[in-house]
Amino acid sequence: MKLMGRSIVTLLPFVPRFFVRWISKRYVAGENLNDAVLVMKKLQSENTCFTVDVLGEEIRNMAEASYFLKEYNLLLDAIVENKLDANISIKPTALGLLIDREGACSNLMKLLKKASENDIFVRLDMEDNRVTQSTIDLVYEMHQKGINNVGTVLQARLFRTSDDIEKVCSITHKNSDLRICKGIYLEPEEIAHTNYLDIVDATILAVDQLLDNGAYTAIASHDDPIINHSLKSLRSRGMGPNLDDPRGNAGLKIKGKGHGYEFQFLLGVRGDERRKLAQAGHLTRVYIPYGSRWYEYSMRRLRENPEIAIHVAKAFLLPWTNRR
């Protein structure tokens, strides 16, 4: 199966657009907001919640940021109107972070305030190493302004992540809310782990570190070693389904959140495992991307992370084993 995944990545430049579109239907909710709402309504019967991302990043000028600002406003309205258990994920470069930091900060504040009025959490997605620190700094700035319904993502493959966990938790205290993932971006070996086992080990250590620091810990992984370790780690700390968070350094439970942790999955990936965790009582969240830039998103996901291609191969060859 791994050979099939690598083969798909190798052949990407020659793959017809219609075939990429067929693949993307599993991992992208659709091209517009209505598509995303329909997918969430269908999946909400599976006892899961959502984080929604409008596809697109690294705009060329600030005029393009107005599209994302408008679309996220419409998305927030749709979440409220349809009574969806969902928060939103935003790529800071889509709001102009690499072009005009002040403008990006202003755009973000507008969305955060509207989201806060409706008890909706906002996750700043983490992009490549060019914006790691500036994304974290945005979280600091918002918290310093008293806007606490925002957190970000840390990528375990980066060597700096352990230090980042300590610093973020020391600054945002009981409002610390972090998603930990292996990391989609293939960073240089000078700043990141590049071996699979090393990345898995780093992710496991990061999960434990976040839990010990009292952070709300969003475990975003499809890997059995990480999921299994996380379950054991939670049990050892007296955390789990229907249990109040016993950590003295943890914040209060807030609307739409679990008891100090949750498990997150990409749309279309390891649905059976997600349903298994949800059935056991764990809060699970599905990452719902949508938008006209589905092709760029799909190609980047496949190109930069061959593991996604493995899931594609499995869905193609053995569809009955990997329900959405």
Residues noted as catalytic: 125, 179
The tokens for 184 are 């989609």
* 207-to-177, 185, 195, 297 alpha-carbon distances in Å: 12, 19, 19, 27
Give the containing element (helix H, strand E) for 194: none
Q: What's the rounded Cα separation, in Å, for the pair 18 and 119? A: 39
Contact present, 50 and 274 (Cβ < 8 Å)? no
Contact present, 256 and 218 (Cβ < 8 Å)? no
DSSP state of 173: G
Q: What's the rounded Cα separation, in Å, for the pair 74 and 19? A: 30
Of 149, 184, 212, 200, residue with least CA distance to 305:
184
Contact present, 93 and 138 (Cβ < 8 Å)? no
Q: What's the rounded Cα separation, in Å, for the pair 35 and 44? A: 14
Q: What's the rounded Cα separation, in Å, for the pair 243 and 225? A: 24
